[in-house]
Amino acid sequence: MSNELNKYQQDSEFGNRQNDEIDLRELFSVIWQGKWLIIAITMVFAVGAVVFAINQPNIYKSEALLSPADSEQGGGGLAALAGQFGGLASMAGINLGGGGGVDKTQMAIEVMKSRQFASDFIQNHDILPDLMAAEKWNMADNTLSYDVDLYDAARKNWVRDVKPPFKPEPSMQEAFKVFSKIIAVNSAKETGMVTVSVEHLSPAVAHQWVNWLVQDINNVMKERDVAEAIKSTAFLESKIQQTNVADIRSILYKLIEEQAKTIMFAEVRDEYVFKTIDPALVPEEKSKPKRALICVLGTMFGGMLGVMFVLIRYFVRKND
């Protein structure tokens, strides 16, 4: 009885292996029979990928490597005063702060990524046409050509046809979406170095925008700290007038001195938050598109789609 059962199991396993072999042979046979259709589909996708790749404009990338500037002003001295006289100052109703807070470098990075900074940057440098309507870069004279359906360069007038609530001139919300895609600000956790990069049709525009970005963020952060220091100084001076305690007045004068240092450093340092380690250059080679990769991927996709089409067609006909 056991011998018959073992023989039956062996016959079943052999039958299954045979069916598998037949199925594989059947698949290869179907693919071989439909080889010309597969080749035709692959060629169509290959030609389409080549045409698509050729029609893509060159994009140039310019980038600068930055280092966080030394934060010698304000922070260190104020933190030391908070540790030394914090208890005494709090008795007088004065909060010296605890040290902590947000890192100035990280804050500057987030400011650069913000809508407000992008809007101010676009408007102050008048780059909206170069951002939203540029169509081609002319290498011979280093100029940009604009999409005539969007922008009339001769009259400097937006002519695009859009539905409400949009207007012919792009809003700052629309501009920010495009701006955030071509601007990159990255910080290396290991070294703390910051990379600012811009991608654009024109290598000269990409280079110029990187320089403007670095200058603007330094100026913005400088103006913020100076304005805060001026307000703090006015507040501290009012507190001095309200107290007669010698120790408290001494603390307040030291705090005013720290605010004066902040203003002084801001005035004498152009690179207030970021120091340029490796300045941006006008790129000579494009960064994208990767035309060869587009062609290869398009051809591979066409081949896989052709095989799938042939197999699906076969099994549909087989089951009918």
- The string of pLDDT tens digits covering residues 253-283 is 888 888 888 788 778 788 889 999 999 999 9
Q: What tokens does 152 get?
A: 């009339």
- Dihedral of CA atoms 152, 158, 163, 165 in degrees, nearest 10, equals 170
Same structural domain, 117 and 213: yes
Same structural domain, 94 and 208: yes
| pTM for the model | 0.76
Is it the case that residue 75 has pLDDT exceeding 70?
Answer: no
Nearest-10 crossing angle of helices 35-55, 2-33: 50
Q: Report CA torsion sign: 251, 252, 257, 260.
A: positive
In whole angstroms, what separates CA 238 from the centre of its chain?
A: 45
> Residue 229: what pLDDT?
84
Same structural domain, 11 and 129: no
Residue 105 is part of a domain; what is its CATH number? 3.30.1890
> Residue 5: what pLDDT?
46
Same structural domain, 73 and 49: no
> In total, how many domains does the chain have?
2
Same structural domain, 51 and 168: no
Average pLDDT over residues 174-195: 92
Which residue segment(s) compose the domain that 301 sits in? Answer: 2-55+292-319
Is it the case that residue 116 has pLDDT exceeding 50?
Answer: yes
Same structural domain, 206 and 298: no
pLDDT band at 20 (very low <50, low <70, confident <90, very high): very low
Same structural domain, 119 and 38: no
> Residue 63: what pLDDT?
95
Same structural domain, 154 and 265: yes
Nearest to 203 by CA among 64, 53, 66, 58: 58
> Residue 81: what pLDDT?
52
- The string of pLDDT tens digits covering residues 41-57 is 999 999 999 999 898 89
Average pLDDT over residues 88-93: 47
CB distance 138 to 144 below 8 Å: yes
Same structural domain, 197 and 166: yes
Sorted by sequence, the CB contacts under 8 Å of residue 90 that are 6+ apart come out as 96
Nearest-10 crossing angle of helices 203-242, 115-125: 120
Same structural domain, 125 and 80: yes
> Residue 289: what pLDDT?
86
Look at 8 and 182; give whichever has higher pLDDT: 182
Same structural domain, 154 and 302: no
Max intra-chain CA distance, the chain: 112
HSE (side-chain half, CA atoms, 13 Å) at 188: 11
> Residue 263: what pLDDT?
82
Query: Strand, coil or helix: what is 99?
Result: coil
Same structural domain, 18 and 100: no
